[in-house]
Chain A
Amino acid sequence: MKLTLKVWRQAGPRAEGRLVTYPIDDASLDMSFLEMLDVLNARLLMKGERPIAFDSDCREGICGSCGFLIGGVAHGPRRLTTACQLFLREFHDGATIVVEPFRSGALPVIKDLVVDRSAFDLIQQAGGFISARTGGASEANSVPIAKEVSDRAMDAASCIGCAACVAACPNGSAMLFTAARVSHLSLLPQGHPERKQRALRMVDAMDRLGFGSCSNHGECEAVCPKGISIDFIARLNREFVKASAVETMEPVRKV
C-alpha cells in the first residue's frame, strides 16, 4: 500500500520544527505503524538524513513509552490502542497521515516525536504512593476487599502513564492521569491513611507543573488506550473537596 506521511521534525528542544513529507510506496497491511517508521528510518539513515526520533519500548501496549498524534489523534484512529499496537490495516491505501508529538506546555519536545514526560513522575512523587515500609506488611488476606472494589481499583490502576490524555485535552489537563492514581489508592483500604494528603498534594503538583484544569470535555477518555473512565475524575474531585474541607496540605515526610 502507498501512504504519505507528514512528520513533525524538530532537531532539539529549542530548535524550530516543521512538517516534512515522506512518501511510502511499499507498506504492507500487516506492518505496525512503528515498524513502518523503523523502515523509513533505515532508509533516511542510508540517504544520510537524520532518522525520526520516537519513543517506544515494549511494543505490546503496556510500557507507555510510545505515543504521538497520528492524524491529529493521540495514538491514532483505533480506540483502546497504543501507537505501537496500531497496524496499517487501519488506514486506506493512498492516505496522507500527519504525525506530530503530543502538544502540551507541560510536555516539552526533546526531539521530533519525543517529549519530556517527567512531570508525570513529579505528580506521582507528590503523593501517588502508599508509604508502607518493606517488611512491615500484615498477612495479605487479613483485610478482605470486596471483589467489585478491587476490580474498580484495578480499572484505575491500568493507566500506563503515556500522557495521551494530556495531549487530547483542550486545556492540557492531567486530570485523568492523576484521577486514576488517586482513585486506585483511595478505593483500597491500604490507601486510606494517606488518602486526604494524597489528593491535596497530587492536585497541587498538577497545577504547579503547568497542567490545565478539567472542564469535562471527555477527550481524555476517548483517546485513553486503556479505557480509563472519566468517572475517576469525578472521584478525584470528590476526594479533593472532602480533603480540603478537613485538612491543609503538608509536605511529604520520611517513613
Chain B
Amino acid sequence: MDLNARVPDGPIEKKWEKRCFEMKLINPANKRKYRVIVVGSGLAGASAAASLGQLGYEVLCFCFQDSARRAHSIAAQGGINAAKNYQNDGDSVYRLFYDTVKGGDFRSREANVYRLAEISNAIIDQCVALGVPFGREYSGYLANRSFGGAQVSRTFYARGQTGQQLLLGAYAALTGQIAVGQVRMFPRSEMLDLVVAGGRARGIVVRDLVTGEIGCHAADAVVLATGGYANAFYLSTNALGCNVTAIWRAHRRGAFFANPCFTQIHPTCIPVAGEHQSKLTLMSESLRNDGRIWVPAKGDDRRHPSEIPESERDYFLERKYPTFGNLAPRDVSSRAAKAVCDEGRGVGPGGRGVYLDFAEAIGRLGEGVIRERYGNLFEMYEQITAEDPYRQPMRIYPAPHYTMGGLWVDYNLMSNVPGLHVIGEANFSDHGANRLGASALMQGLADGYFIIPNTIGDDLARVAPKDRFPEDHPAFQEVRKEAEERIRKLLSAQGSRPVESFHRELGELLWQTCGMARNEKGLKTALERIPILRAEFWRDVRVSNEGEDFNQSLERAGRVADFMEFAELLVNDALQRDESCGAHFREEHETPDGEALRDDANFAYVAAWEFAGVGKPPILHKEQLQFEHVPLSQRSYK
C-alpha cells in the first residue's frame, strides 16, 4: 500500500504556497456539479462545510446532535493559538512551528506543522470577521494569555468559552450557507459506515436517529470531521456522544489508522467523585497561568489545605520544572501529578488529586481580576464539587481529554483511500505524541477553513461528477444491508447488562493498562481481556427493544460495539511502540529523572495500521519522519 505523504519539496516556508500552485483546479462553473459530504459539525466540520459551500460545491453535512451548534468543540475553554506576536514578546510563525513540533515530542510531520503555524494568523482574522467576541484590552485591540508548553503569550480567548465562540462563528458561517441552499444539513443523523468501491470513497450510510431510517448518501468526496476517541476510556472530558464509529468504520473499509496510542491525559480535571459518574469535567489549562499546583510535602496529610503551612507544601511543578513551572506541557504535568499521588501524597477522596491554588494570585491581583479571568470556571467547579475555589484550592487530577492519533492523512489531508479526507481531531496530523494547549482549535479551523477547501479540488479534479455512484448502486445497498443487520442484532440483544456497564469495564481496563503509564505486561493483559469482553458484550448486553426509531440505548450500543473493536488497535499500537514519547509513557523507558525516553533510531515514524479483520493482528505500515528544522533533542522544560 502506498504511504506517500506527498509533502511538497522545497524550503519549508514555501511548501504550502507551492502545493496550492501545483494543485489541479476546478473552474467555478464546474464546482456546483460536485457533491461533497462532510460528517461532523464541530470546528473542523462546520468551517469546512461552510467554506466548501462558499466555493460553490454542493455540500451535505451530518451531525448526531440535534443542532450543528452542539458539537463537542463547543466545550473547549481556554483558547486558540496564533503567531501574531501582538505581545511583542518574540513570537513568530517559526516559533509556533518549533514549539508544536517539540511539544509533540518529535512524532509529527514537520511540513504539516509549519503550515498550521503559517495559517494560524488568518484564522484569527477570519474569526473576528465572523463576529467572534475575543477578549480585548482597553485599547480595543485583541488580548492574549499564556498557555502550557510556550514561553510567549499567543493564545486568543473568549473568557473561558473560546471553543463555544469559535464554534458559533463557524456554525453561523455554515448557517449562512444552509440559508442559501448551498449546504444541506442533516442533524440527529449518525454515520454508520463508509462506502468504498472501485478504489474510491463513494458515500456514506447514515441512520436517522429520530425515525431510525437507514439511508445512503452518495458524493464525489467524503470529509470526516468526527473528532476523537477519548471516550474509549469511558470517563473522559469528552461529551457523552463522542465516539470512534465514523473513523473506525472507515478504517475497516481500508483507511489506515495512525498512532492510536497517542492519547492525551489532561492534567487539570475535576477528580472522580463517585461510582455513578458519567463524565469528567475539565478545568481549563489557562487556570495554570495563575493557579499554583501543590500537594502536602509529607504523605497521608489529612489536614485542611489552609492548615498546611507553606514550608510543608510541595509545589512540585515549580520545583521540577523551574523554567516553565506550572505551565509545563500537559503530558509532563499529568505524569508529575500521578507520581506524587502514587507516592501517597494525593489529596481528596481516594487520594487521587492535587491542589490548584489561587490564594497567591488573589492576594496579588485581587478577587475581581481572578473573577474576570476565570469566573465561569470557578462557578462550574463550585456547582460540581460544592467547594468555593475563591476560599480553598481546587482539587484536580488528570483525565483522558484529546486524542492525537486518528486516520492517517497525507499533506493534503486525504487518507490512503482516494476521495476520503479527514480533518480536525479525527486525523493524526499535527500534534505528534502530545498536543499543546490551545492548538486543537487552531488545527480544526486551519483544516476546515483553509486547507481542505484548497486541497479537495485537487482530488475532485481527478473524477467526473457523472461517474458518481447512484445511491441504489449495489455497493451502497450491500453496506446498507450490513448496517441494518447490525442494528437488528443489537435490537434483539436482551442479555443481563446495560451498555454502560460494558463501556465502563472497557474504560477501566484501558485506563489501568493503557492510560497515563503503560508497560508490556499490562498491555498484553489488555490484549487478552478485550476479545473476551467483546464476546461478552455481544452475548450479554441488553438494548432497549422499544423499536427501531428514536432509541438512545441503541445509539450507545452501536458506539460501544465499535469501541470494543477499536480498543484492541489502541493497545496493539501502545505495545509496538516500545519507547516513551509525549503522552505515550512506557514504564520500561524513562530517563533517570522519570521523563519520557524516546528511541529515535527505531521509532521516529508514524505507525499507520491496516485493518485485517476483527480480532486479527492489524498490519503495520511506517511513515518515517524527518526532522530537518527542529533538531531531535530530549525535551526539557526545566
| Contact indicator B175/A38 (Cβ below 8 Å) | no
Do B172 and A124 touch across chains, with their CB atoms under 8 A apart? yes
**Which of B70-78, B103-111, B527-535 participates in binding chain A?**
B70-78
25 A-B pairs (CB sep. < 8 Å): A30-B274, A36-B276, A38-B278, A42-B500, A45-B498, A57-B72, A61-B380, A62-B74, A62-B75, A65-B65, A134-B50, A134-B54, A134-B449, A138-B125, A138-B129, A143-B128, A145-B140, A147-B140, A153-B131, A158-B164, A161-B69, A188-B131, A190-B130, A252-B180, A255-B176
In the assembled complex, B133 has its CB within 8 A of some CB on chain A:
yes
Total chain A interface residues with beta-carbon distance under 8 A: 83
A104 shortest CB reach to chain B, Å: 15
Which residue in B126, B131, B450 is a CB contact (below 8 Å) of A185?
A: B131
In the complex, are the beta carbons of A132 and B129 less than 8 A apart?
yes
Contacts of A117-146 to chain B: CB distance below 8 A: 117-118, 120-121, 124-141, 143-146
Q: A87-B386, A114-B550, A145-B140 are in contact. Are A134 and B178 (CB under 8 A)?
A: no
Bound CA–CA A13/B46 (angstroms): 29
* Distance (whole angstroms) from the CB of B333 to the closest CB of chain A: 21
Task: Give the dominant DSSP class at A's interface.
Answer: loop
Residue numbers in A under 8 Å from B163 (CB-CB): 62
A39 interfacial contact with B, CB 8 Å: yes
CA distance A27 to B163 in the complex (A): 34
A81-133 contacts to B (CB < 8 Å) = 81, 85, 87, 89, 110-111, 114, 116-118, 120-121, 124-133
In whole angstroms, what is the CA distance A137 to B445 when docked? Answer: 14
A204 within 8 A of B: no
Chain A CB count within 10 A is highest, among B131, B165, B180, B544, for B131
Which of chain B's residues has its CB closest to A123's CB? B175
> Given the complex, which residues of B lie within 8 Å of A12, measured CB to CB?
549-550
Among B134, B210, B500, B542, which residue has its beta carbon within 8 angstroms of that of A38? B500
Distance in angstroms from A183 CB to nearest chain B CB is 11
The residue from A89, A124, A146 contacting B386, defined by CB atoms under 8 A apart: A89
A150 nearest in chain B by CB position: B136
Query: Is the C-beta of A157 less than 8 angstroms from some C-beta in chain B?
Result: yes
Asked whether, in the complex, the Cβ of A140 is within 8 Å of the Cβ of B142, the reply is yes
Is the CB of B239 closer than 8 A to any CB of chain A? yes
Chain A hits for B65, CB < 8 A = 57, 63, 65
Q: On chain B, which size bracket covers the interface?
A: 35 or more
- Of all chain A residues, the one with the shortest Cβ separation from B52 is A134
Given contacts A53-B552, A63-B72, A111-B550, contact A141 B66 (CB under 8 A): no
Asked if residues A50 and B546 are in contact (CB atoms below 8 Å), the reply is yes
Does A31 count as interface, using CB distance less than 8 angstroms? yes
User: Closest approach, in angstroms, between the C-beta of B510 and any C-beta of chain A?
Assistant: 20
The 4 closest A-B CB pairs, nearest first, are A144-B140, A129-B172, A137-B129, A137-B125
**Least CB distance, A205 to chain B, in whole angstroms:** 10
Which B residues touch A255, using CB under 8 A? Answer: 54, 176, 180
For B239, give its contact among A63, A78, A130, A154 (CB under 8 Å). Answer: A63
The verdict on B159 contacting chain A, using a C-beta distance below 8 Å, is yes
Q: Does B415 contact A (CB under 8 A)?
A: no
- Interface pair B173/A129, CB less than 8 Å apart: yes
Flag whether B392 is at the interface (Cβ < 8 A): no
A interface residues, Cβ below 8 angstroms from B: 11-12, 28, 30-32, 34-36, 38-39, 41-42, 45-46, 50-51, 53, 55-65, 78, 80-81, 85, 87, 89, 110-111, 114, 116-118, 120-121, 124-141, 143-147, 150-151, 153-154, 157-158, 160-161, 184-185, 188, 190-191, 252-255
Is B88's CB within 8 Å of the partner chain A? no
Q: B67: which A residues are within 8 A, CB to CB?
A: 64, 117-118, 120-121, 161
Please count the residue pairs between chain A and chain B whose beta carbons lie under 8 angstroms apart in the complex. Answer: 227
Verify if B4 is at the interface (C-beta below 8 Å from A): no
Is B453 a contact partner of A134 (Cβ separation < 8 A)? yes
Can you add 18 more A-B contacts, CB < 8 Å, to A35-B277, A130-B130, A184-B133? A51-B544, A58-B75, A60-B281, A65-B70, A80-B379, A118-B187, A127-B179, A132-B129, A132-B130, A138-B125, A140-B121, A143-B128, A145-B136, A157-B168, A158-B164, A188-B131, A188-B133, A190-B128
CB distance from B403 to the nearest CB of A (A): 17
Question: Does B141 belong to the interface (CB within 8 Å)?
Answer: yes
CA distance A132 to B176 in the complex (A): 9
- The reply to whether A128 and B133 form a contact with Cβ atoms under 8 Å apart is no
Is the pair A125, B453 in contact by a Cβ cutoff of 8 Å?
no
Determine if A87 and B384 form an interchain contact, defined as CB atoms under 8 angstroms apart: yes
A147 CA to B158 CA, complexed, in Å:
12
Mask: chain B, 428-469; 1 = CB below 8 Å from A; 0 = not: 000000000000000000000110010000000000000000
Give the nearest-CB partner of B551 in chain A: A53
Query: B86, B159, B498: which contacts A154 (Cβ < 8 A)?
Result: B159
Partner of B126, one of A134, A151, A153, A184: A134
A153 with B133: CB separation less than 8 A: yes
Are A62 and B133 neighbours in the complex by a CB distance under 8 Å?
A: no
B273 at the interface (CB under 8 A from A): yes
Contact B179 A57 (CB under 8 A): no
Report chain A residues within 8 Å CB of B122: 135, 137
Chain A residue contacts of B158, Cβ below 8 A: 154, 157
Min distance, Cβ A64 to any Cβ of chain B, angstroms: 6
Residue pair B161, A62 in contact (C-beta under 8 Å): yes
Find out whether the CB atom of A55 lies under 8 angstroms from the CB atom of B66: yes
A28 and B274 contact, CB distance less than 8 A: yes
Q: Does B139 contact A (CB under 8 A)?
A: yes
A124 CA / B176 CA spacing, docked (Å): 8
Establish whether residues A254 and B130, one from each chain, have CB atoms under 8 Å apart when the complex forms: no
Contact residue among A46, A87, A137, A158 (Cβ-Cβ distance under 8 Å from B498): A46
Whole-angstrom CA separation of A126 from B176 in the bound complex:
8
CB neighbours of B142 from chain A (8 A): 140-141
Confirm or deny: B146 has a beta carbon within 8 angstroms of a beta carbon on chain A.
no
B27 within 8 A of A: no
Q: Is B279 in contact with chain A by the CB < 8 A criterion?
A: yes
* Most central of A38, A63, A80, A184 by chain B CB within 10 Å: A63
Shortest CB distance A13–B (Å): 9
